Amino acid sequence: MRRMNLRDRLFEKNFVLYILGRLVSLIGSGIQIVAIPLYILDLTGSGTAMGIFTLLGMLPRLLAAPFAGVIGDRWNRRNIMVWTDFLRGILILILAFLAYKGAMGIIILFIVQAIVSVLDGFFGSATVAMLPDIVENEHLREANSVLGSVNSFSMIIGPILGGIIYGVLGIAMVFLLNGISFIVSAISEMFITYNVEFKEKGKLNVTKFLKEFTQGIAFIFNNRGLKYLFSFAMVTNFLLSPLLQVVEPYVLRQVVKMSAQQYGFVQTFFTIGMLLGNVILVVFLSKVKNKVLIVGGLFLELFMLLAFSILIFPNVLSNFTIWKFFWLTGIIYFAIGLFNIFVNVPISTNLQLMTPTNIRSRVFSAVEIFSQLMVPLGAVIYGFLLDRVAAHLLFLVVNLITIFIAVIFIIIAPYEVYEPKSSEMQEIS
């Protein structure tokens, strides 16, 4: 057995602390994600209030993304993670105190949600950019898989605990546990050794901010491998994300008439598939080439979506009882989640490897902005089409278009999309 040198041990310690912090805070957030909507509905009974709360969880983060990208390439990323975790923890502990005293109103909850959303943006930008700095390049794909496993596990266990804790102990305990989880996460991150220094850029003003953020966008389109990956990710995100967020719930709830519990379990099957996919990548497929994973995973995922498209055709659907359809759909969605990981982890890893550390936060902030903007745009279009086109036909046509685009991508994509060149990992000036 090879004896680990000091560098290996250091990176192992850093990664363990990084993952520990993510696990604790994600479980806490998962508890709160389920509990707060229940609390808002119990408090107001208003769908509008729920919509506003959801919007405040997304829009401030999106607006903060350009600033988070620039700051993430100027300041120590570990410190950004530590301070944003501490601040989120303190804010949520204040909510716990107010809820305990019976003094928390819906407006206070909205204000804190907006602030936390901004902090989420700064934390996320620093986190994704920092990982390649604390993990060796040859282990980065496995590191992303471990991180994905933590995310998936948290998405499963957090909501389960959230429903139980809110139902038994109330919203104050939910806030208390989540606030503590952020504080524990921050303490864990304080012990990460991170000494990456960036070149002095001087005082930040509006002109310099705009210049530095546009550098991140320009870097994407001036790098051939990044440009292909970015373009493919944006197009498929535009096509598939709204399909699964708008059309799929409509089909399962309105056409198939699944119960809310059945629908929730279908989503859980998807998450379990993602969890298993990450485990398989680390344990069994760590030596498999990126191209094999991306191409194989992509077409297997699209094949499963195509199978679901056929399954919801009226003449096919009529052959199944609701429970048979539920189990078949659960298996399909489990497989989609599993194969999705085979695509997303190598692509995310290659995006990290292709981007120099001194511009990585800006690049990933730009990716987040464009990918997030694609979803509401697609949702509006699909919502419009649902009123005019049968859902099963829309599902099938979108999948066929996506398969066609995937084939074109595979044919024309340069080799560096799958195996980044070392010259692409150098810092820019």
pLDDT at 421: 65
Tell me how many degrees the CA angle 266-239-297 measures, rounded to the nearest 5. 65
pLDDT at 198: 65
77, 129 contact by CB (below 8 A): yes
Location of structure tokens 């508890």 = 31
Which residue type sits at 345? V
What kind and span of H or E run contains 338? helix 322-354
pLDDT at 59 over 50: yes
Contacts 24+ apart (CB under 8 A), 334-337: 334/269, 334/270, 334/272, 334/273, 334/276, 335/273, 335/300, 335/301, 335/304, 336/270, 336/273, 336/301, 336/304, 336/305, 337/269, 337/270, 337/271, 337/272, 337/273, 337/274, 337/277
The class that CATH gives domain 220-425 is mainly alpha
pLDDT at 9 over 60: no
pLDDT at 376 over 80: no
- Residue 185: how many other CB atoms lie within 10 Å: 29
Question: Distance (Å, rounded) from C-alpha 348 to C-alpha 417?
Answer: 11
pLDDT at 83: 92
What is the average pLDDT score of the chain? Answer: 82
The pTM for the full model equals 0.80
193, 10 contact by CB (below 8 A): yes
Q: At what angle do helices 6-44 and 140-169 cross, to 10 degrees?
A: 30
pLDDT at 331 over 90: yes
In which band, very low, low, confident or very high, does the pLDDT at 69 lie, cut at 50, 70 and 90?
confident
pLDDT at 93 over 90: yes
Mean pLDDT of 306-318: 87
Task: Return the SS3 of 75.
Answer: coil
pLDDT at 288 over 50: yes
pLDDT at 260: 66
- CATH 1.20.1250.20 residue ranges of the chain are 6-198, 220-425
112, 184 contact by CB (below 8 A): no
pLDDT at 335: 94
pLDDT at 7 over 60: no
182 vs 261, more confident: 182
DSSP string, 154-208: HHHHHHHHHHHHHHHH-HHHHHHHHHHHHHHHHHHHHT-----------S--HHH
Question: Distance (Å, rounded) from C-alpha 102 to C-alpha 79?
Answer: 34
Question: Distance (Å, rounded) from C-alpha 310 to C-alpha 71?
Answer: 47
39 vs 329, more confident: 329
In which band, very low, low, confident or very high, does the pLDDT at 201 lie, cut at 50, 70 and 90?
low
6-198 has CATH 3.90.1070.10 classification: no
pLDDT at 147 over 80: yes
Location of structure tokens 């496995």 = 142
Burial class of 364 by CB neighbour count within 10 A (0 to 12, 13 to 18, 19+): buried
The number of C-alpha atoms within 13 Å of 318 and in the hemisphere containing its C-beta is 3
Question: Distance (Å, rounded) from C-alpha 354 to C-alpha 214?
Answer: 17
pLDDT at 338: 92
In which band, very low, low, confident or very high, does the pLDDT at 196 lie, cut at 50, 70 and 90?
confident
Tell me the Ramachandran region of residue 3: left when phi exceeds 0, alpha when psi lies from -120 to 50, beta otherwise. beta
In which band, very low, low, confident or very high, does the pLDDT at 371 lie, cut at 50, 70 and 90?
confident
Mean pLDDT of 195-204: 68
Mean pLDDT of 322-342: 91
pLDDT at 425 over 50: no
Question: Distance (Å, rounded) from C-alpha 348 to C-alpha 218?
Answer: 19
List b or e across 323-357, with b for residues whose CB sees 16 or more CB atoms inside 10 angstroms.
eebbeebbebbbbbbbbbbbbbbbbbbbbbbbbbb
Mean pLDDT of 68-74: 86
Most confident segment among 5-19, 51-65, 328-342, 352-366: 328-342
In which band, very low, low, confident or very high, does the pLDDT at 424 lie, cut at 50, 70 and 90?
very low
In which band, very low, low, confident or very high, does the pLDDT at 404 lie, cut at 50, 70 and 90?
very high
pLDDT per residue as tens digits for the range 211-246? 888 888 888 888 888 888 888 888 888 888 878 777
